[in-house]
Structure 1
Amino acid sequence: MLRIAFFTAAVALGSMVSAAPNGPIRVVDGDTFKVNGTTVRLHAIDAPETDQMCGDATSPAWPCGAWVRDKTHEMFEGRMARCIATDTDRYGRTVAKCSVDGRDVGETLVSKGLAFAYREYGMDYDLVEKGAAVNARGLHGTGIMSPAAFRSAQRAKTRPNKVRNNAGAKTVTVNRGTSPKRSLLPNAINPACKIKGNISLNSGERIYHVPGQDYYAKTRISVGKGERWFCSESEARAAGWRKARN
Structure 2
Amino acid sequence: MKRRAMIAAFLAVISSPACAAKLSGPPRIVDGNTIEIEQTKIRLSGIDAPETDQICLDTHGQKWACGIAARDELIKHSNGQTWDCHTTGRDEYGRSLGSCFIAGEDVNAWMVRSGWALSWGRNIHIYAVYEVVASHAYAGLWSGAFITPWDWRHRNKGTIIIGASSVPTDAQELLLGSALLSDPPSPECLIKGTVGGNGERIYHVPGQFGYGQIDMTKKRGERWLCSEAEAEATGWRKAAR
Taking structure 1 as the reference length, what is the TM-score of the superposition? 0.57
Say whether the 8 Å CA contact 1:119–1:126 is kept in structure 2.
no
1:46 alignment counterpart: 48
User: RMSD of the alignment, in Å?
Assistant: 2.4
1:129 alignment counterpart: 131
Structure 2 residue runs of 5 or longer lacking an equivalent are: 1-11, 167-241
2:161 alignment counterpart: 171
1:144 alignment counterpart: 146
- Give the Å deviation of 1:35: 1.4
Equivalent positions of 1:27-66 (< 5 A) are: 27-55=29-57, 58-66=60-68
Give the number of the structure whose alpha-carbon radius of gyration is greater: 1
Q: Which runs of 4+ in 1 moved over 2 A?
A: 13-18, 119-122, 170-173
Say whether the 8 Å CA contact 1:27–1:77 is kept in structure 2.
no
Counterparts in 2 of 1:151 and 1:57: CA distance versus 1, 3 Å: same
Counterparts in 2 of 1:15 and 1:56: CA distance versus 1, 3 Å: closer
Counterparts in 2 of 1:19 and 1:54: CA distance versus 1, 3 Å: same
- Give the Å deviation of 1:128: 0.8
| Whole-angstrom distance in 2 between the partners of 1:57 and 1:42 | 28
| Whole-angstrom distance in 1 between the partners of 2:128 and 2:161 | 16
| Whole-angstrom distance in 2 between the partners of 1:92 and 1:14 | 14
Identity of aligned residues (%): 32
Deviations 1:75-95 (A, max 9, x none): 115321111113210100000
Counterparts in 2 of 1:62 and 1:102: CA distance versus 1, 3 Å: same
1:85 alignment counterpart: 87
Say whether the 8 Å CA contact 1:26–1:77 is kept in structure 2.
no
Say whether the 8 Å CA contact 1:54–1:62 is kept in structure 2.
yes
| Whole-angstrom distance in 2 between the partners of 1:72 and 1:27 | 8
State the aligned residue count: 153
